[in-house]
Amino acid sequence: MGTDLFRLDHKIAIVIGAASGIGEAVARGLAGAGAHVACLDLNVAAAERVADAICASGGRAEAATLDIRLSRDVDAAVDQFVERHGHIDAVVCTPSINVRKPLLKYADEEFDRVVALNLKGSFNVLRAAGRVMTRQGSGSIIVYSSIRSVVIEPGQGIYAATKAGIVQMVRAAAAELGPAGVRVNAVAPGVVETPLTEPIKANRDWYDAYARKSVLGRWARADEMVGPTLFLASDAASYVTGTVLFVDGGWTAADGRFQPPGMG
C-alpha cells in the first residue's frame, strides 16, 4: 500500500475556486496525484487556463463556470459531471470573501454578500455533492473553513461566523452522510499567500505581524494546502470524517508572543 494510499488514479475530482490561489494549487495537486479534475470557477477564463496547464503537463482536466451562490447552477454542474463520468469521488470547495469592518459599521448588503458566498455557497456545494455521493455510496467532500472559525480579530466577525458555520455544517453532514459511505471534512488554513491577501502583503507591519503569529514565523504558500487536501480526498483518510484539519503553522496552538525568561 504505502504511498498508493494517496494516489487518485481513476478518480474524478471537482475543485471549486480553481482559477487562482488555493483552489488552483489544489486542482494542480489532485491532478498530479492522478485525478481527472474539473476546474470550476466564476472566472471561467482563468479556470480554463489552469485546466489547460494541467493537460499540458500530462494530467487530465476540464473547466466550467460556476457561481456557488446559485443552488440550481451547483446542482446542474454536479449532475453534468456525473452524467459525463459516471461518478464523482471528491469535491473541494474553496471560495470565500471577507469584508473587514467592525460589526457596528456593517451594512446589510455586506452581511448578505459574505454569508451568501461563504456559508450558503458552501451549503449548496455540500448538498449537491452529498446527494450524488449518497446515491453512489462513496465520496469525499472537503470544504474550506479558516482559523477564524475558532480565533478572531477585530473586523472579521461576519467572516468568522461563516467559517464557524462551515465547521458545524461539515460535522452535521459527516454524521448524516457517513452511513452511506460519504466522508465530509474541513480544511482550516491560517494566513496564505494568495491574490486575495495582497492588501495585507502591501502593508509590511500587518504582513509581519501575521508572520510572527505563526510558530513557524512565516505565511503559508498556497501549495502547502495541497497535501492536507489530497490526504482528505484519498484512501489514506478512509476513516477520517467530521474533522477540521488546521493548516495554520501553529497559529491556533500558541496563545501569545511573550517568551518567559529561561525559555530561549
The CA-based dihedral angle spanning residues 254, 23, 111, 103, taken in that order and rounded to the nearest 10 degrees: 20
Residue 126 contacts residue 184 (beta carbons within 8 Å): yes
Among 124, 119, 128, 130, residue whose Cα is nearest residue 166: 119
User: Are 145 and 95 contacting, i.e. CB atoms less than 8 angstroms apart?
Assistant: no
> Do the beta carbons of residue 99 and residue 109 sit within 8 Å?
no
92 closest CA partner among 43, 135, 159, 38 = 38
Percent helix, strand and coil across the chain, each rounded to 5? 50, 15, 30
**CA 86, CA 195: separation in Å to the nearest integer?**
35
The alpha carbon of residue 232 and the mean position of all alpha carbons in its chain are separated, in whole angstroms, by 11
The yes-or-no answer on residue 159 being catalytic is yes
The enclosing H or E element of 91 equals strand 90-93
Q: Which helix (H) or strand (E) holds 45?
A: helix 44-56
> How many angstroms from the chain centroid is the CA of residue 82?
21
Residues in the chain: 264
Query: Which residue of the set 144, 159, 207, 210 is catalytic?
Result: 159
Place of cell 451594512: 107
Residues with a known catalytic role: 159
